[in-house]
Structure 1
Amino acid sequence: MKKAIYLMLLSALCFTVMNVFVKYLSGYSTYQKVFFRAIGSLVFTMGYLLYYKIPIGGKQKKLLILRGLVGVTSMGLFFASTDYLSIGTAVSLRYTSPIFAAILAVFFLKEKIFKLQWVYFILAFVGVLLIKGFDNEINIIGLSLILISAFFSGLVYVVISKIGTKDHPVVIVNYFMWISTILGGVLSISNWKTPQGNDWFILLSLGLFGYFGQLFMTKAYQLGSANKIVPLKYVEVIFTMILGMIWFGDQYPLLSVLGVLLVIVALILNVLFKQKVKG
């Protein structure tokens, strides 16, 4: 259990570094950041599949392609939102995706939302209103981009649920990385900016930190009980806000911070409730 906690905290740290690097690279187009984020992880996913001789094509190609398209849309919108929002605010609002996932699952997976879950979702929405109402840096464009990103992130959950266990998890991620690499590369051609100096390392490391963040999180879930591990996932928001204040001089009004905490607490309670219902 102790190892699982360390791995989850390490995962949160990896995602935090990736988030801050995305914000730092604001001079590059969203498409270019998507390209480098994807190609950096593609090296690892392709290497894994080839080493273990796992068929790259998968069994459910239409769903795998759909997962890739939905995933790259969510990622692109998140990256774009960081040009308008402080990185801590963008990350905290992106975590509203479980709300969209739960609602979409009702229609596409025939899952049920319990009354108590609606209470948690309302609390999270109140948190979003607090963030928007008391953070003067938030504009409607940034808020719209990140909430639409969260919606597509919730849709990813639905598509992955549809895929189920018929395809290997790395095959699913590999499709996502290939589609993101191709789309990001093609769309960035018209406004390509050649990286200079350390920017090469930072751009390529987006995929590195993203991949290992996902890897450490997966291993943490395998080693520890979900109800104790999942809440630590949201430490990423706190890490990102702190690093944003240090690196970019971000400032957060007290009520905006309370809004972030309300979103995190509401979503953690929702996760714990779901685990209790299942178990």
Structure 2
Amino acid sequence: MLISTLAFACMNSTVKYLKGIPTFEIVFFRSLGSLFFTVGFLLKNKIPMIGKNNKSLILRAIAGTTSMSLFFMSIKYLSIGTAVSIRYIAPIFSAIFAVFLLKEKIKPLQWGFFVISLVGVFVLKGFDHQINTTGLILVLLASVLSGLVYVIINKIGKSEHPLVVVNYFMMFATVLGGILSINNWTTPKGIEWLFLLLLGILGYVGQVFMTKAFQTASTNIVAPIKYFEVIYTATFGVFLFGEIYTFYSFLGIALIIGGLILNIWYKSKLDNS
């Protein structure tokens, strides 16, 4: 999970560096790079690409692509550590969607932990005057759609190979990113080509190692480590982009992550009781 979060943090930093490249062009290259690996794996292992739950797979691809695009847009307005932290409130929206779509129940204490995380967002916006409103709205919308993605994947369950699900996502994102880039294409220069190619590799490495982490250890141990992505990303932001984090930045981020980790801990206690 530490390798996974480092890969995702590097990918986020690369997107920040490529601020002169249009968002959908970044989506195109990021998805095309990962698609190369997913298609290769599925062909090599003779796994059917079509899948069985086509409607759910397509809906997951649409929601995932939109969420990714909105998140990449938000990075252009926010410090990358802040954007990543706010995106992580997706489990709150996931829980709300699960109540209506999967008929799941949320314990009162879980709602309390979610409120702690949401207070963190309000602290960031209310007290940290560096927070751009446009960026905040974009990353909140990305979080809502990420929450929907989690529920759709949960509904798909083990009926599909994980890389079939990822392949649908990458294929849709590649096509949409490519089409929307046609009239807004900016030809990369020099090292930008290398960074654009790295996006897909970093995204794929992050996804694979995250999957391996969840497969080899219990969720309550592995899931909190995922929040190291915020630490990695904020560190890159400070040293590579000269980003400044105030006391309220750290307080807001701590509340967001703290509330989510408490929820993971509480859920693991419920599952083991």
Shorter chain as denominator, the TM-score bin is over 0.9
Deviates more, 1:132-141 or 1:237-246: 132-141
| Separation in structure 1 between the aligned mates of residue 33 and residue 129 of structure 2, nearest angstrom | 35
The correspondence for 1:188, drawn from 146, 166, 181, is 181
Aligned CA RMSD, in angstroms, stands at 0.8
Query: What's the % identity of the aligned pairs?
Result: 56
Q: 1: CA distance between counterparts of 2:27 and 2:35?
A: 12
Q: Which residue of 2 aligns with 1:3?
A: none
Match of 2:126 in 1: 133
Q: What is the identity, as a one-letter code, of the residue corresponding to 1:274?
A: K
1:225 Cα shift? 2.2
SS in 1 for 2:158: coil
Which residue, 6, 9, 15 being the options, matches 1:22?
15
Shift of 1:126: 0.7
Amino acid in structure 1 at the alignment position of 2:10: V
In structure 1, which of residues 56, 66, 90 is the aligned counterpart of residue 59 of structure 2? 66
- Contact 1:23 1:83 (C-alpha < 8 Å) held by counterparts: yes
Q: Tell me the CA shift for residue 214 of structure 1.
A: 1.0
Q: Name which of 93, 103, 123 aligns with 2:86.
A: 93
Indicate which of 72, 95, 108 corresponds to 1:102: 95
Displacement over 2 Å in runs of 4+:
none
Q: Does the aligned pair in 2 maintain the 1:135–1:253 contact within 8 Å? A: yes
Equivalent in the alignment of 1:43:
36
**Map of 2:191 onto structure 1:** 198
Say whether 1:54 aligns with 2:47: yes
**Equivalent pair of 1:26/1:83 in contact (CA under 8 Å):** yes
- Answer yes or no: is the 8 Å Cα contact 1:134–1:253 preserved in 2: no
Which stretches in structure 2 are left out of the alignment for 5+ residues?
A: none
Which amino acid in 1 is paired with 2:212? K
- Report the CA distance between 1:168 and its aligned residue: 1.0
Residue aligning to 2:104: 111
Q: What's the TM-score, normalizing by structure 1?
A: 0.96
> How far has the Cα of 1:135 moved from its partner?
2.1
Q: TM-score, normalised by structure 2?
A: 0.98
* CA distance in 1 between partners of 2:64 and 2:256 (Å): 23
Q: Does 1:212 align with 2:205?
A: yes
In the TM superposition, residue 83 of structure 1 has moved relative to its aligned partner by 1.1
- Contact kept, 8 Å, 1:38 with 1:207, in 2: the verdict is yes
Superposed CA deviations along residues 252-273 of structure 1, whole A, max 9, x for unmatched, are 1112211101110110111121
Match of 2:147 in 1: 154
**2:98 match: secondary structure:** helix
Correspondence 1:224 to 2:224: no
State the Cα distance separating 1:196 from its structure 2 match.
1.1
CA distance in 2 between partners of 1:23 and 1:221 (Å): 28
Match of 1:165 in 2: 158
- Matches of 1:158 and 1:232, distance apart in 2: 21
Counterparts of 2:125 and 2:233 in 1: how far apart (Å)? Answer: 18
SS in 1 for 2:187: coil
Once residues 93 and 130 of structure 2 are traced to their aligned partners in structure 1, the CA distance between those partners, rounded to angstroms, is 25
**Deviations 1:106-157, CA, capped at 9 Å, x for gaps:** 0000001100001101100111111112222212111100000000000001
Aligned to 1:251: 244
CA distance in 2, matches of 1:148, 1:275: 28
* Post-superposition offset of 1:166: 1.4
Distance 2:48 2:40 in 1: 12
Please report how far the alpha carbon of residue 90 of structure 1 lies from its aligned counterpart in structure 2 after TM superposition: 0.4
One-letter code of the match for 2:133?
A: I
Task: Give yes or no for contact 1:132–1:256 (8 Å, CA) kept in 2.
Answer: no
What is the Cα deviation at residue 219 of structure 1?
0.9
